[in-house]
Chains A and B, each alone.
Chain A
Amino acid sequence: MTFFNVEKIRKEFPILGQEVRSGVPLVYLDSTATAQKPAVVIDAMDNYYRTTNANIHRGVHYLAEKATSEYEAARLKIANFINANKPREIIYTRNTTESINLVAQSWGRSFLKQGDLIILTEMEHHSNLVPWHMLAQEKDLRLEFIPVTEDGELDQVVYDRLLDEGPKLVAFSHMSNVLGTINPAQEIVRKAKLAGAVTLIDGAQSVPHFDVSVKELGVDFLAFSAHKMVGPTGIGVLWGREELLNAMPPFLGGGDMIKKVLLRSFIPNELPYKFEAGTPAIAEAIGFGAAIDFLNSVGMDNIATHEHALVQSALIKLKTIPSLQVLGENAVNRGGVVSFTLAGIHPHDVAQILDQYGIAIRAGHHCAMPLHDKYGIPASSRASFYLYNTEAEVDHLVETLHKVTEMFA
């Protein structure tokens, strides 16, 4: 375990030294929406554009070869990061959302048929709902949902019952972006496999925050986004088992994803290129590789431990605000996210007043409307923590929330 020094880490992130308004330093508690970037990531892309920029794969000149090998080196880093067997199982996409759509449209459209059952959960992000809504409508599929209990966990009893109905796919988020609940992914996958279902994990909130191994999970597909793990916008990953990816038809058509093109037909390329049509996000892949290096240098276990400490302390301190209600407060296993409501005060007002004090939190449905419907609320406020947040920031949050309640008293 490497030594973890949050003040040293903060220095690596240029934005964190900034004042939002004169005299008001930034307190960034919105990493669940997107993470901040360390200088090494920003510089990797800057450097790429200043010294290496070229289109990849098809080029035989110096820059093209250098760009290609850096682009592919990043793929290997990502494969190792999630303990994948082969870099060719790493498909670059734009984000988690596109990764899940790729599975829905390529795998789902080919392998699911009328009446087939997909199991999702009530705590899903819209990214792991709407692609299935679209597919279900097109192919007349059935969607069922593992309910969320009062404690903010998945109801395993109902899940077991749903498994009896012979699902073809079980797709769920590893960690809720609203409740912070870390779901027992390995167990969910194990049961799904026994029931003969293919499994997909929305890893948008897990891969950035703790060690995730696709081998240990036993899952078939894993989706995540670079921008939530100190990497750039514009790039995400779909990891899939090679056999499954090989059996799937292409998703988008165009350059690079083909082996051969005739006027009226084409032969798709090998993995991973089959799924990477057109000029990809080259600089972003290289930035993503730098982000992986950075996270590895800090250590994913250190990050998870740090966040755990912050969120536990936040949960205790937030109890000093009587009108504050945490969503899914009692989840046993939770990551660095706290969503809450303040009686009589709309989350947008909370977020805006906190912003006056330099504190950036999210307010809204956090792209999880069905979960908010379940709680009978249209919106909540959400504070989230990452490797660069401090105990002092937690205190600042709690103090300022006290002020908010006073303003509206």
Chain B
Amino acid sequence: MQLAGEDSQVHLAVGSRFEDIELVQIVIAESLTRLRLDDDESEDIALAVREAVANAIKHGNRENPDKRVEVEVRLDGVEIEIRVTDEGRGFNPAGIRDPRETENLLRPDGRGILFMREFMDDIDYTFLDEGGTVVTLRKRLVSCSSEPTKEEEVE
């Protein structure tokens, strides 16, 4: 179901400063622009990526600016997949507490993974043998048609 004309891959590697998140956001926004998603869908994806990159910088690379965060964006006609990789030591996703439980409601942190889960269809963690955490975010795209409509072709 991949349409050659719509396939696209972008790979970005940045340092581990919070300002690098903005660079990632800009690349994501530009990549999504081409898909003509509706604003809501684009915002959801951008927010999930923001959380993934923030975690990579904060927990993975512990804000060491010399450590890299890699972001890979894969688009085909029907799905977007974004992979965010850090150089950290990983964690146990099963041990994460649910921020919606009453006893956690007033904690200031612990909501990033929830955001990723809610705003994407699917998120998945892999821990590399050589060190490093990969979080893969996927979303099926509803608002973008994989074929241009008649009107768009004429444009």
Do A and B truly interact?
A: no
Binding site for B on A (CB under 8 A): none
